[in-house]
Every structure is written in C-alpha cells, then in structure tokens.
Structure 1
C-alpha cells in the first residue's frame, strides 16, 4: 500500500500522473544521465514519504524524475520546495490550495503540469465527498467585520463586471484581493457566516483570475486557481459553483486537446449541478467535447447533450450563478453549430453560427471575437475565402483592441488554411494584418 498522498512528494508524483514504478525508473534514469547508479527503490521512496529526508543528490534526481528543472531544488528545505501541484479535498484543504495557486503564480512555475488523471480523480472526489459544515467560530487572530467582507465582495464584483477592454488592466488588483482573502481565512477570527462568505469570495476570485491566466495562455496558473476555487466552493457547500469550476477545468482540457479528460470531468460536474443555466452550459460543453473526440461515432450521446442543454436553458430563470449568468441563446446556437460541424451537418451548423452571432449582446466583445473566428472557419470549410478573411480580420482587430490573446491565437491557428487562397480578394490584406 502506498503512503498517504498528503505528503508533498506523494502529491507531486500523483499530480504528475506517475506510478511508483515509473517514478523510481525516472530516478534511475536521472542518475544514469550522470554516469551514476541510484539504489532508490519503492521502499526508499516510502521512507521519504514518511518523513525521511533524501540526500541532496537524490532530491535532484527526484526533481528530474518528475519533469522539473534541478534548479528548483533547495536541499535544506525538503519537502517544502516541491511544487504540490494537486492538493486533495479535505476539511482544511481550502487555504493550502489557495497558497499553492498564489505561490505557483509568484514563482512562475510554468513547468509544473497536472495530469488529466489527477484532475479527473479530484473531480470524482468532489462528486462523492461531503464538505464539513462551517459551524465553528475561528478563535485565533484579529476579528474580521462584515464591513470589510462586504467591501471585498463589492469591489471584486465591480472588477469582474468591467468591460473586457478594461479587464485587461485588472490582474494585479484581483491578485491582491485574493491574497487578502487568503490571509483573512488563514489568520482571522470570524463567525461561520463570515467564513461562508470568505470561502465563496475566494472561489469566485480564483475563478476570475483563472480565466485571466487562461486567456493569456498561462495554463498552469489557470488550473491551479480553478483547483483552489474548487476547494473553497467545496468548503462553502456551493455545488453549483463547484460544478462551474470543474466545467472550466474541462474547457481547458478540451482546449488542449484532451477531450477524454474533459468529458470525464463534465460528467462528474453534472452529478451535483442544480441550476438549469449551469446544467445547460455543462451539457453544451459536453456535447462539444464529445463531438471533437469521436464525432459521428457518438452522435446519439452528442445530440442528447445538445437537447438537454436547450431544455435546461429554456427552464432557466434570471436566478443564476454569476459564473454562468451570461449563458444565452446566442451561446447555445453558436456552440451547437460548432458541434454539428464535427458531426458533418454543415448547412445547419453554419445557420446556427450565423444566428448566434447576430443574437450576441453588444457588450460581450471577447465572445464576439471568438464567434467571428468560428464564422471564419466555417467559411473556409465551405471554400469561401473572401468572407472568411473579412471575419478573421474583424476578429483580430477586435482581439487586439480589447487585449484578448486567446482570440488572437484562434485567428493565428486559421492562418495555414488561408495559404491556398493567397490571391483571393481580401486574403492578402488579412495575411498582412496578421503579420503586423
């Protein structure tokens, strides 16, 4: 039996998706690259996980076996230098998860990745676990009043609600808010009611920051913040918010091409999501990732998910969680269209994408930019480069204006598809714009 995964070494190994055998082999390989041999075996690793400190040489091998640079090793600070990666859900896991997210961002530990298996296991724990009720008053530290919490809640909402063009200037403010809330949770004295609000605020802040990091292409930082948010939503017993955070992790997995992980996470998220708007968005994402994974071979499951998304959206009222308050018929139409493209239903897909773009509210510029890239791709599918170039150029100009690197990347990914049409009307101008 393996040692408890609460030890940082075990947590780091599991986060890397490594079995004990694979980890030991990695240590041997690290030694062999130096012309040396390591006597490390499973028994020795278990001793390290029970508190025995490895030699400095072994710590360097450990770092390399887990895919990290040996430069991060601080032999006199074992095991604290280990990037924890994934912290398991528990009654006191919310603050450590926040600290790990903040530390990962501060130290720019972009080399740390969390395996799809580890995130799926976390989702399964969330789906079946029972959070501890927040029934006690914290007796240590300075008292925290409602006025301070209300200010943090209101200012966080204001920052999150700014237009996309202005939100690109707010990451440092959001980081400072999250650090403050983390300190209050760890060191303050507060009632159960204040505790509930602080955990909810920490989850919401983590989610907002994660999307900022994701849009900038910082996927490690994004996943750590989504995971920290999940821990705090779990502490607050907010199943809809927890489901939303899992839905975001699934979206990230799908964006990176891991549709199997995305589908599994979404299935766990749907077990506890209750709000119809939340369920609609999760079902829509499930349809998208199933279609991208297997296309027509899962047609029945995909169409069931699309039908469920539509029905849940019809049932949704204005009482929605903040993270899916924007979910609308426009989103349903465009993402349904993208799904149908993977199923080969091209005509209906293009119709839905066009309808969805027309319905989109004017305030949602970033989403409009994404939709424009979808429209450009659909025109390319139809071998119509002129309107494709016009849509892609509009998306690129919009993305640059509002500071949306993820949308810029979507446009960049289309560039190779324009090369066969380099003499078509509008295409040279678009390619010149993209190169500028």
Structure 2
C-alpha cells in the first residue's frame, strides 16, 4: 500500500529544509518583527497538520517562517496556497502529478511569479525523468464518481479549442485554464477507473502544455515553466515517453529563448534518451542544433551538423502516426531551423536560402509560426546588410503578429528595431519604425 500523502504544511516545511524547532522559531520571529508574541509550539503545528485551520495572522507567520513573502497567503484557501517546493520543482513520486498541477495553477497568480525554477533544478528534473524508474500513477480516491461522458466532453472540447484558427486561439486562454483546473480537481478528488484516470492524466499533460505556451508567448516565464513541469509529471504518470520528451523539449526551448543554452542542451540530451517517435526526435534534434549553434563554439560545429542530419533523417522516417504535440513538424521547420543554426555558424548565404524556402513551405494554418519565420528572414537580410527586404519581412511579421495576438513575435521584431537604425533612410525602414511606434 502506498504511503499516505503528507499534509501540505509538512511538505512545505520539509521542502524549505526546516526542522520543527526551526519552523516554530521562525513563526516566533515573524510575530516579533511586528512587536507581537506567538504562542505557537510543536503541538499546535501538529494540530495544523492534522486539519485544524490556523487563523490568518498565523498563516502570515507560517509563510514568513518558510521564507516566502506574506502576500502569498490566501487565508480562505488553507492549505492550498502553501508552496510545496523550495526550488520550484516537485520531485517525481507516486503522488506528484496533482501537486505539480496545483503548483502551476497557483503560480498563475501574480503573487506566485517569484517561484522560478533554477537551471540546476531543471537539469536535475530532466535527468530524473531520463532515469525512468518511477511508478507515479496514484490510486483512485474515494470521492465523487467521474464518468465517461464528462471525460469525453473535456477531451473533445479541448481538442476543439486546439483546432481553432490561429487568430481565434488568442481568445481561448481562460477556457483552457478552466479545463485544466477541472481536470486537476477530478484527479485530486474524483473516484474513477484506472482507464479513466489514465485519460485524465493524459489530458492534464496536454492542457498543461498548451497553457504553458500561452504563458510563454505572454512572457510569463515562471508560470510557463511550472505548467510544463506539471505536464511532465502527468505524462510520466501514464508512461508516455514521447510526450514527456516533448515537454522537456519545451522547457529547453524556453531556456534557449532566455539565453541559457547550456541548460537547454543538457535538457534536450536527456529528452533524446527516451524519445521514440521519429517526429518527436526530429523536433528535439532541431532544437539541440539551434541551441548548440547559438553558443557559437567552433568546436561544436560538427555536433550541430550531426544534429541537423539526424533531424532530417528522423523527418524522412516519420509517418502519419505522430504525437499530437509534434504532428505539425514539417519540411518547413527543418528548413528554417537548419537555416537559423547555419546562420549562427556563419554560413549566411545557405542560411538565408533555407529560411526563405521554409517560409514558402509553411501552410497557411500556421500563422504564428509564419510570423516568427518572417522575423528570422528579416534578421538574415540584416546580416547581409539588405535593409529593404529586411524591413518588408519585419513589417509583414508585425502586422500579422498584431492581428493574431502573438506578443512573442512582436518582441522578436522589437529586438530587431535597433538594427534598422543605421538604415533609417532605406526604403521601407521609416514605415516599419513608424508602425512599431504606433
């Protein structure tokens, strides 16, 4: 029989590395800073851990004793507001999937954005996942029954939201959040068969991944990473190795976006140890090539080229049986990502050609990706001191990004604007600068 789940207060105290004596002392110190005294002792803490609710004042002291700011407290939602981890990562375990989801949902609140995940913690999580020695599917609960019809509705409606045109998906984040909160509640409190529980974990992983990308596009990185980690726990719970590898690939993409290329490379190397589907491996190899090339280390040139060759071979091997999260990987992605990697390696002529080819191959349904590709093309033109076509590509990308609600693409263009300043009189550049300023 599995060990009982510890009370969130006990879990939070252990995550913070506090002994009972240290924790009680921290509560006394928090009260003293306000010129007050607290009568909290070990016996009272144990009562809280058995279900007695501390008053709001005590909850504030608890937060500070654990090293968190007082404004994290939501006294009416005790003990759910308690952080369950000190480094932002819930470790894998038989009951880790729901706490990871809860951590992601709570991090969505502004007061939880400080709960960022360090590069060391992310790399360690990826290594732990790659070890693959956990059985993380918890037993069913004794709560209210969860039926087939409800789960089927959640699956179908989630799929419908995911299939909306790009321009319409900008209106769906609140619906996706609600779906994920519902699935989390069902996993935590629902009673269902093993088959339905597997479907709920799978749906949780997919929803968490989609929500993470929405947060990432908005620049909410702490929340995005928590959702990707939550998705990883749920994919791991059902033994979906490709989905898990994909979620690690997303975390690596975020790390690379933030300039943490060594962290990204380590995560991708762990992900590739267990990914099986050729389309999944293609995407991971492309991201590995991109992040290694971005380090601009001449000694890694061959490694970059090997990763690009592996990605091409995997794409050739990929059939129609692909995981949903990487079903879109195509010749267009291979061309553009290869071009971007070659651009970092200094092969600008071939890079420009590949980026242009990839953009032409991209289907109209992928407007957000088209906007990103256009910014890549603009950058490659600037590398070749061609401001006119660069301005045309950036102008098109900016108009597209604003229409479909793609703030990440807008930020890419903003980052390019200083490079246009030396060409302020070139054709199209004044119009671009004016559009960007509006």
Query: TM-score, normalised on structure 1?
Result: 0.85
- 2:192 and 2:186 map into 1 onto residues whose CA distance is 9
Match of 2:41 in 1: none
Which of 302, 324, 327 aligns to 2:326? It is 324
The answer on whether the counterparts of 2:252 and 2:267 sit within 8 Å (CA) in structure 1 is yes
What CA deviation, in whole Å up to 9, does each residue of 1:57-109 have, x standing for no partner?
A: 9867767x6xx645436899998755332110111100111111111113552
- 1:230 and 1:57 map into 2 onto residues whose CA distance is 32
What CA deviation, in whole Å up to 9, does each residue of 1:260-318 have, x standing for no partner?
A: 11001101111110000000000000000001123423101111111110000000001
Task: Map residues 152-301 of structure 1 onto 2, 5 A cutoff.
Answer: 152-301=154-303
Q: Once the 2 structures are TM-superposed, how far is the Cα of residue 161 of structure 1 from its aligned partner?
A: 1.2
The answer on whether the counterparts of 1:59 and 1:73 sit within 8 Å (CA) in structure 2 is no
Name the Cα RMSD after superposition. 3.1
Secondary structure of 1:410's counterpart equals helix
The answer on whether the counterparts of 2:167 and 2:403 sit within 8 Å (CA) in structure 1 is yes
Question: Structure 1 regions of 5+ residues with no counterpart?
Answer: 1-5, 15-26, 35-46
- 1:403 and 1:181, CA in 2 relative to 1: closer, same or farther beyond 3 A? same
What CA deviation, in whole Å up to 9, does each residue of 1:34-56 have, x standing for no partner?
A: 9xxxxxxxxxxxx99xx9x9x99
- 1:235 and 1:404, CA in 2 relative to 1: closer, same or farther beyond 3 A? same
- 1:131 and 1:146, CA in 2 relative to 1: closer, same or farther beyond 3 A? farther
Task: Map residues 59-98 of structure 1 onto 2, 5 A cutoff.
Answer: 69-72=69-72, 82-84=82-84, 85-98=88-101
Count of matched residue positions in the alignment of Structure 1 and Structure 2: 402
Stretch deviating more after TM superposition (127-136 or 346-355): 127-136
What CA deviation, in whole Å up to 9, does each residue of 1:382-430 have, x standing for no partner?
A: 0111111110000000000000000000000001101111111111111
Q: Once the 2 structures are TM-superposed, how far is the Cα of residue 368 of structure 1 from its aligned partner?
A: 0.3
Match of 2:125 in 1: 122
Question: Structure 2 regions of 5+ residues with no counterpart?
Answer: 1-9, 18-25, 34-44
Matched, 1:7 2:31: no
The answer on whether the counterparts of 1:93 and 1:231 sit within 8 Å (CA) in structure 2 is yes
- 1:184 and 1:358, CA in 2 relative to 1: closer, same or farther beyond 3 A? same
- 1:133 and 1:250, CA in 2 relative to 1: closer, same or farther beyond 3 A? closer
Query: TM-score, normalised on structure 2?
Result: 0.84
Match of 1:19 in 2: none
- 1:61 and 1:196, CA in 2 relative to 1: closer, same or farther beyond 3 A? closer
- 2:377 and 2:109 map into 1 onto residues whose CA distance is 38
- 1:432 and 1:203, CA in 2 relative to 1: closer, same or farther beyond 3 A? same
The answer on whether the counterparts of 2:101 and 2:184 sit within 8 Å (CA) in structure 1 is yes
- 1:228 and 1:327 map into 2 onto residues whose CA distance is 24
